Amino acid sequence: MSPKLRLTCPECGQANQFPRDKAGAAPKCGICGHALNDGKVAPVDFRTLEKMAKSDGLPLLVDFWAPWCGPCRAMAPEFEKAAKALAPHVRLAKIDTQSHPDATVRYNIRGIPAFILFAEGREVARLAGARPAADVVRFVQEKLTLIA
Ligand SMILES: [Zn+2]
């Protein structure tokens, strides 16, 4: 019996559970059918972000960005590349801090882009500023090794 893996749907916020060994088998949300772990950056709202950060069974890296931020927009394709490289072991999400200012306050974001890595229900590490995909991947791998 494979232990259960809990993943929040980035689209509808539903908590989904399935066997952990199916994490890489394109799991879908039981409610809305959205992909749960497809190697793409998932746009999320504040409420969903809170759920994912607190209760998900896979590490989560979140990009705090805004449409008016040039470096954030330049960084977006790099973040997508990082999502592909880290799948299916880490999920990547992004939150628009202009539409969801609550997130800026809650996570004390002082400048964007900013990245927070969550694992096992807590914040593990932060990274600030735009950078290439390879740097993002290295950051995540190093930090996760430390908590493993
Ligand atoms: Zn869903």
Greater pLDDT, 73 or 2: 73
Crossing angle for the helix pair 133-147 and 70-86, nearest 10 degrees?
A: 60
Q: Which of 9, 29, 32, 69 is catalytic?
A: 69
Residue 71 lies in a domain: yes
Write the pLDDT tens digit of every residue in 14-65: 999 999 998 999 999 999 999 999 999 999 999 999 999 999 999 999 999 9
Residue 14 lies in a domain: no
In the reported structure, the alpha carbon of residue 36 is separated from the centroid of ligand 1 by a whole-number distance in angstroms of 8
72 part of the active site: yes
Beta bridge partners of 45: none
**By residue range, what is the domain housing residue 129?**
39-147
CATH of the domain at 58: 3.40.30.10
pTM, 2 dp = 0.96
Residue 50 lies in a domain: yes
69 part of the active site: yes
Residue 97 lies in a domain: yes
In the reported structure, the alpha carbon of residue 49 is separated from the centroid of ligand 1 by a whole-number distance in angstroms of 13
Residue 4 lies in a domain: no
Residue 44 lies in a domain: yes
Write the pLDDT tens digit of every residue in 80-139: 999 999 999 999 999 999 999 999 999 999 999 999 999 999 999 999 999 999 999 999
Report the percentage of the chain scoring pLDDT > 70. Answer: 99
Residue 82 lies in a domain: yes
Residue 106 lies in a domain: yes
In the reported structure, the alpha carbon of residue 37 is separated from the centroid of ligand 1 by a whole-number distance in angstroms of 12
Write the pLDDT tens digit of every residue in 113-122: 999 999 999 9
Number of domains within the chain: 1
